[in-house]
Amino acid sequence: MGTRLKRAKGVLEDTWSKVAHDQADRTGLSALRVATSLKKGVHEDVLAVQLNMNQKQNNPAAPITFTGDDVLAVKKFYEANKRRVAYTGPQAVEIDKNQTVLDKGEQIDTEGGLTC
């Protein structure tokens, strides 16, 4: 596949992602791309530079800055979710509920612990 065709394919995929996917979908797709690029030998700092350039364009009012370590964390989180969800819905509900209770200065019930 020629360079122009690959580039056009990428633009079409990104446009489709904007229309057809929500943030959770886009996050997963981006994490997959990061993990794939790292597996192919692209250095994490190169990906960080690209992400930073994208942020300046896509989020000019408050661009998020990425480091090579951040890129490696994205890969790590992607790998953690390969077989099963790394952080389940019920766990999030319970932890968020506990944090709300703690923020009110109250004590949480620690009897049963969290389910995994």
Domain assignment of residue 1, yes or no: no
Q: Which pLDDT value is given to residue 18?
A: 64
Domain assignment of residue 41, yes or no: yes
- Taking the CA of residue 111 as centre, how many other CA atoms within 13 Å lie in the half-sphere pointing to its CB? 1
Q: Which pLDDT value is given to residue 6?
A: 74
> Does one domain contain both 76 and 93?
no
> Does one domain contain both 72 and 92?
no
Q: Which pLDDT value is given to residue 111?
A: 75
Q: Which pLDDT value is given to residue 5?
A: 78
Domain assignment of residue 10, yes or no: no
Please give the Cα distance from 68 to 71 (Å, whole number): 5
Q: What is the reported pTM?
A: 0.74
The domain in which residue 57 lies consists of 22-83
Domain assignment of residue 15, yes or no: no
What is the block-wise mean pLDDT of the chain (116 residues), using blocks of 10 residues? 76 68 89 98 99 96 98 98 94 95 90 66
Q: Which pLDDT value is given to residue 95?
A: 94
Domain assignment of residue 4, yes or no: no
Q: What is the 3-state secondary structure (H, E, C) of 79-112?
A: HHCCCCCCCCHHHHHHHHHHHHHHHCCCCCCCCC
